[in-house]
Amino acid sequence: MKSVLVVGLGRFGRHMAAKLIEEGNEVLAVDINEERVNDALDLVTNAQIGDTTNEHFIASLGVGNFDLCVVAIGDNFQSSLETTALLKDYGAPFVLSRANRDVHAKFLLRNGADKVVYPEREMAERLAVKFGTENIFDYIELTPDYSIYEIPVPVPWVGKSIVEKGVRNKYHISILAVKEQEEIYPLPRPEYVFRGSETLIIMGHYKDVRALAKAR
């Protein structure tokens, strides 16, 4: 269990806090807006009304005791920047800040953020790949070049084994798991024979995965 501070209770902050709680973490949520705080009381371990651009308020939170501090403020970049800097100044070990633009990310990283996320952009890109690319059902980006994908079994592979198709050497991908309906079978052995009713969870360079999807 981690101790997490979430600053900002808009849609992103609320969803983040709720998921952190669901994963068994202890969450303190903070927002300057009383209505947002009241709405979150049924979701989080604890919630407070406060201005996180105020040094005295930040000092009162004991931010050095949190494993993770999330700055989820999305409607006021100046507040997000000041909050990020103050959290780091007062000893927060890891600060995750939300950004809407690249220039915001640069300033956040320069002023204390350990990691910056773009929730809207990341979701849009994931949906674009999932629904806009043929034969890719889902994906999780690991780096700009490598991702984890869920794809159908290529028709020419059906009835052949992993080793027979030379999957890693020929296609430059790694099969992490086989999925059939709602069951996941991780790390299939080299002699596993493709049936065609399953989907594959693979990791690879986006160019190799797209080439495989198009070569069906």
- The pLDDT tens digits of the residues spanning 111-138 come to 999 999 887 777 776 666 666 666 677 7
Shared-domain flag, residues 181 and 196: yes
Shared-domain flag, residues 152 and 84: no
Q: Which of 116, 139, 174 is the last residue of a domain?
A: 116
pLDDT tens figures, 48-100: 999 999 999 999 999 999 999 999 998 899 999 999 999 999 999 999 999 98
Region of poorest pLDDT, from 40-44, 77-81, 137-141, 148-152: 137-141
Q: Measure the CA–CA gap between 151 and 135, rounded to whole angstroms.
A: 6
Q: Which helix (H) or strand (E) holds 30?
A: strand 26-31
pLDDT tens figures, 184-210: 999 999 999 999 889 999 999 988 887
Shared-domain flag, residues 107 and 183: no
- Burial (0-12, 13-18, 19+ Cβ within 10 Å), 70: buried
- Burial (0-12, 13-18, 19+ Cβ within 10 Å), 73: buried
Domain enclosing residue 170, as ranges = 120-212
